[in-house]
């Protein structure tokens, strides 16, 4: 089909997880194209995938002939293309706040803990696993401390990051909390973050996007 949506995704990629949530919130049909980030050195580094995304990162969204990269840009593309369930608030102040929260995760916390960063530590500098994992916990903790302050007691915070409708900030927050749990971050100091995460995961759109519910997740 000409305008079919195809998401190049990896079950445990938090950037792909953001887009899966956005697609589900909008109620859009899409096919998952799995890209295994680890097997055989990583399928993101194959010439075929490089042609789709010279950054060799997931996600990539194909919409018919269009190739879209960068999860936040993809979420905004979805919002501008399909009106149902807006992912950004209607007012400019709300949009600025939603983007600031989303970018705190996507631009500050996530990139320095990415697979390729950890692989560089391991393969180039021989940093042992406990130190690599400590690095991840440190930067998630610092980022979450800031996010918790930005969310707690803010009049713009509701059931979700911005008001009572889940949006782009929640699309970023929930996958980052998944990563935090994966690396054993103590979440007790972040009650607002975990409260919002629980509210999100109770919704089918978030539940269906969970890593363990993906077709390429390992079957246990």
Ligand X SMILES: N[C@@H](CCC(=O)N[C@@H](CS)C(=O)NCC(=O)O)C(=O)O
116 binds ligand X (CB under 6 A): yes
Instruction: Rule CB under 6 A: choose which of 7, 15, 21, 98 binds ligand X.
Output: 15
Q: How many helices, marked H, and strands, marked E, lie in the chain? A: 9, 4
Judged by CB under 6 A, the stretch of 108-116, 132-140, 190-198, 209-217 that binds ligand X is 108-116
Closest listed residue to residue 170, CA positions, set 81, 97, 108, 115:
97
Q: Between residues 43 and 197, which has the closer beta carbon with respect to ligand X?
A: 43
* b/e sequence 198-213, b meaning 16+ C-beta within 10 Å: ebbeebebbeebbbee
For residue 5, list its beta bridge partners.
Answer: 63
Query: d(Cα 83, Cα 98) in Å, to the nearest integer?
Result: 18
Q: Between residues 27 and 111, which has the closer beta carbon with respect to ligand X?
A: 111
* Smallest separation, CB 136 to ligand X (Å): 13
Q: Between residues 44 and 192, which has the closer beta carbon with respect to ligand X?
A: 44
The alpha carbon torsion through 132, 133, 138, 141 (nearest 10 deg) reads 150
Question: Contacts with ligand X in 129-148 (CB under 6 A)?
Answer: none
* b/e sequence 69-85, b meaning 16+ C-beta within 10 Å: bbbbebbbbbbeeeeeb
Site string for ligand X, 22-51 (x = CB under 6 A): ---------------x----x-x-------
70 binds ligand X (CB under 6 A): yes
Question: Contacts with ligand X in 87-106 (CB under 6 A)?
Answer: 106
Binding site for ligand X (CB under 6 A): 13-15, 37, 42, 44, 57-59, 70-72, 106, 114-116
């Amino acid at each position: 089909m000409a305008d079919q949506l195809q998401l190049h995704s990896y079950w445990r990629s938090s950037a792909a997880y953001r887009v899966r949530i956005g697609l589900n919130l909008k109620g859009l049909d899409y096919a998952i194209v799995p890209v295994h980030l680890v097997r055989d050195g990583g399928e993101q580094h194959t010439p075929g995938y490089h042609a789709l995304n010279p950054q060799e990162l997931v996600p990539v969204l194909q919409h018919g002939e269009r190739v879209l990269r960068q999860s936040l840009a993809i979420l905004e593309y979805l919002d501008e293309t399909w009106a149902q369930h807006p992912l950004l608030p209607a007012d400019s102040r709300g949009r600025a706040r939603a983007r600031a929260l989303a970018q705190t995760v996507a631009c500050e916390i996530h990139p320095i803990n990415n697979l390729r960063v950890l692989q560089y530590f391991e393969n180039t500098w021989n940093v042992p696993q406990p130190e690599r994992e400590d690095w991840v916990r440190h930067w998630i903790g610092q980022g979450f401390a800031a996010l918790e302050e930005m969310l707690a007691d803010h009049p713009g915070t509701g059931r979700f990051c911005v008001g009572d409708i889940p949006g782009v900030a929640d699309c970023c927050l929930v996958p980052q909390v998944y990563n935090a749990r994966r690396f054993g971050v103590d979440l007790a100091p972040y009650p607002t973050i975990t409260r919002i995460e629980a509210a999100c995961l109770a919704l089918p759109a978030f539940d269906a996007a969970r890593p363990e519910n993906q077709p390429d997740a390992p079957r246990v």
